[in-house]
Every structure is written in C-alpha cells, then in structure tokens.
C-alpha cells in the first residue's frame, strides 16, 4: 500500500517508485544531472527554465545550483528529498481525505448515535489532551506510541529549554492529573471546548487494528501485570480457558504457567456479553470510538507504521522540530508480517467476526482488509 511505502528511512528502497510517481519535470532533471548530458550551458538553462515554469520555484533554484556549481550528485540527492517530502505531505492529505469521505458516506456507522461533540459524555472525551500553550490537542490511543506522545505533551507543558522526553518516567505520563483534558471543562463551558476543537491543531496516531490487538495481548496478558490479571485475565480463563478456579494472583498464575491464550482473548472480544458488561477496555477498544474522527476534524493523522517520519513531519508542522525530539521507536514492535502466525489458532469464522468488529478502524484509517486471514 502506498501509505506504507513512503518513509525517509526506506528512501533507498522506495526511490524508484517515488521518482516514477513524482513530477515529470523533476524526473527529467534527475536524469539530466545524473548523466551530465553534454550540452551547452544555455541549452541547459532553457531546460531548467521549462521545469520551473511547469512546476515550482524550488526546482528552479536547484537547476541554478546545477548550472553554476555543477554539484550534480548533491543536487540530485536534494531533489529526491524534496520529492519525498512532497509525497509525505500528499500522503497525510490523503489520510484526512479518506476520513472525510468515509464519515460523509456512512456517518451512522461511526457515530454511535451521537450527532455532534456536544452529545458526547465526559467519558467519551477523556482521551483528548489539551496543550493551551502551543494550541495542540492530542487524542491518545493505547498501544499506538501513546506513552511517548504523552511524554512529549508532558515536556511541552514545562518551561523551555525542554527536557528530553525519554527522561520522563512512563508511569508518570499515564496520570491524568498531569494534563489538561478536554473533558475537564464544565459542561456550561462547552463553548470553550468547542472553540479549542475548532482552532487548535488536533492530531492522533493509529495502527493496523489486528496488530494493535496482538500488542495489547502481549502487553497485558503475557507480562506480569496484577491489575489486568485480576480484572480481565481471571475472567477470561474462567469463561474461555477451561479454568473454573484460576490462581488468585498473577504471581501464582505465572508460577504455574496459567494465562489466557491469544484465542481466549479473541473469544472474550467476540462474546456479546463482553460489551454488555461494560465498554471495551481502551487498550482494545476500537480506535474510532476513542477519538471520534467523524465528529472531530483532525489536522494530522499519523500511523504507527511510519511513526518516526510522521512524528518528524508533525513536529515540523507545529514549529517544534528544533526544540524537541520524538523518542525513537522500539525495535521489537509487533510486525504486520507476524500477524498470520498469531492467528493460526483462531478459527476462520472467528477471524471474520473479529474483522467485522474492527472493520470501522480498517476503513476509516486506510488499512487494507487482511484477506490472507479471512479467505477460505
């Protein structure tokens, strides 16, 4: 998919595709500079002028650099970076356009009965962090780099010069008291909240829905976590894991090797009783139910799959690129390539039901339907 091809880190791999999809004039200039055609300076100047007239002033300046300084290889490299930056910008515009089209075309499917933001409860707006200092609103989604983005939001709320976000403990940034949340404004001040939603730069980051579920399972059920064991794992073991009396504590469970399987977790998600008991826990709740993109018009939609490039682009858009760095990604992030292995124990019919449960996230955020998991 094109949305996952454009990456500065993979610039060499995607170079041919980027050039093919780039401006025709830009391609011609690259060929010209790469092969150093034997033509007069006057003729080369005319060609460069044509490129300028057809496309933009930046390319013209690069032509002058070629003619006057003859730094062919350097100019070609810069030109490729410009084309890549243009593609990244176009990519983010496509993401926002897709959201608008999906929401306009089938708003009822994504609205959960809510017509406007005013119809939402405070609980439904609890994931929106407000930074009045910089005019930013961030809707965080668990298991989509939210710890590091919360670190950034925390640091931005401090005085300059800003600290390294990685110096902030992860436990600290998950405390709601450390931020201003949109739902902290009383209902009588809803106009204040609506004004912020209208004028502030709003962003969120999303992830392949199935990969996010795998990451949530690994984090909450394969690691030592007392809260999630007592509140979720024991129930799942009783209901789907053939464990009528699971160990009382996570220590006892780990010592005896008892824990919910990935398929047990999927059974829990698919059970209609789960949602009747209470809304899905945020770590596996549908992303559009956390951030309501059909009611809140986001200015930037980042993807976990292009996290570093998107983070750099966002900080540039916010004019913060030179004052703060986004933390580097973990190398052991769940890869889409491993999804098939995780789902081998999940029957085909349950895979299809799971896709229907998260279909809204796939469609709204431009993730392809995983036919390799859903076909006979």
For residue range 319-335, list pLDDT tens digits in order: 999 999 999 877 656 66
CA nearest to 346, candidates 285, 269, 251:
269
pLDDT of residue 361: 98
CA nearest to 203, candidates 311, 328, 322:
311
pLDDT of residue 114: 66
Complete DSSP assignment for 283-311 = TTS-HHHHH-TTTS--SEEEEGGGHHHHH
Weakest mean pLDDT among 2-6, 314-318, 349-353: 2-6
d(CA 278, CA 274): 7
Percentage, residues of the chain above pLDDT 70: 74
Residue 344, classified by CB atoms within 10 Å of its CB into exposed (0-12), middle (13-18) or buried (19+), is exposed
Return the axis-axis angle of helices 72-105 and 307-317, rounded to nearest 10°. Answer: 90
Dihedral of CA 117/119/122/125: which sign?
negative
Highest mean pLDDT among 14-18, 69-73, 245-249: 245-249
Residues 6+ apart with CB under 8 A from 205: 141, 144, 145, 146, 149, 301, 302, 303, 304, 307, 310
d(CA 38, CA 44): 9
Residues 6+ apart with CB under 8 A from 292: 114, 117, 120, 124
Looking at the predicted structure, is the pLDDT value of residue 168 above 70?
yes
Cα dist. 366→253, 359, 360 in Å? 39, 11, 10
pLDDT of residue 293: 95
**Neighbouring C-beta atoms of residue 190, cutoff 10 Å:** 12
d(CA 322, CA 314): 12
d(CA 287, CA 277): 20
CA nearest to 146, candidates 364, 361, 338, 326:
326
pLDDT of residue 127: 96
124, 352, 5, 287 alpha-carbon torsion, rounded to 10°: 0
- Using one digit for the tens of pLDDT, what is the confidence trace for 139-165? 999 999 999 999 999 999 888 888 899
Looking at the predicted structure, is the pLDDT value of residue 305 above 70?
yes
The residue assigned the tokens 């949109």 is 182
Mean pLDDT of 344-363: 97
Mean pLDDT of 255-274: 97
Weakest mean pLDDT among 109-113, 237-241, 258-262: 109-113
pLDDT of residue 188: 73
d(CA 73, CA 80): 11
């Amino acid at each position: 998919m094109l949305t996952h091809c454009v990456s500065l880190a993979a610039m060499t791999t995607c170079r041919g595709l980027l050039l093919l999809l780039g401006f025709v004039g830009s391609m011609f200039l690259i060929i010209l500079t790469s092969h150093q055609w034997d033509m007069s300076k006057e003729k080369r100047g005319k060609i460069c002028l044509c490129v300028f007239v057809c496309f933009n002033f930046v390319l013209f300046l690069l032509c002058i650099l070629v003619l006057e300084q003859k730094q062919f290889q350097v100019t070609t490299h810069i030109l490729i970076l410009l084309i890549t930056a243009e593609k990244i910008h176009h990519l983010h515009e496509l993401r926002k356009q897709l959201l608008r089209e999906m929401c306009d075309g089938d708003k009822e499917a994504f609205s959960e009965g809510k017509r406007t933001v005013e119809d939402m409860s405070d609980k439904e707006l609890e994931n929106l962090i407000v930074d009045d200092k910089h005019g930013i609103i961030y809707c965080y989604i668990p298991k989509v780099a939210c710890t590091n983005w919360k670190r950034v939001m925390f640091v931005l709320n401090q005085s300059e010069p800003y600290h390294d976000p990685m110096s902030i403990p992860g436990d600290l940034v998950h405390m709601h008291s450390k931020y201003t949340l949109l739902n902290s404004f009383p209902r009588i001040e809803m106009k204040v909240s609506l004004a912020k939603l209208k004028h502030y730069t709003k962003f969120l980051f999303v992830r392949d829905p199935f990969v996010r579920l795998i990451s949530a399972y690994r984090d909450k059920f394969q690691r030592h976590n007392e809260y999630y064991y007592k509140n979720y794992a024991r129930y799942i073991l009783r209901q789907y894991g053939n464990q009528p009396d699971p160990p009382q504590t996570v220590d006892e469970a780990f010592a005896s090797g008892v824990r919910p399987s990935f398929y047990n977790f999927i059974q829990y998600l698919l059970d209609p009783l789960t949602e009747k008991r209470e809304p899905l826990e945020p770590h596996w709740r549908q992303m559009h139910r956390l951030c309501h993109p059909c009611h809140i018009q986001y200015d930037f939609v980042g993807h976990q799959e292009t996290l570093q490039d998107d983070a750099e682009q966002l900080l540039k858009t916010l004019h913060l690129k030179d004052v703060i760095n986004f933390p580097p990604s973990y190398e052991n992030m769940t890869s889409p390539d491993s999804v098939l292995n995780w789902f081998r124990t999940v029957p085909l019919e349950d895979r299809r039901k799971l896709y229907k449960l998260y279909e809204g996230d796939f469609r709204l955020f431009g993730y392809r339907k995983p036919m390799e998991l859903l076909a006979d």
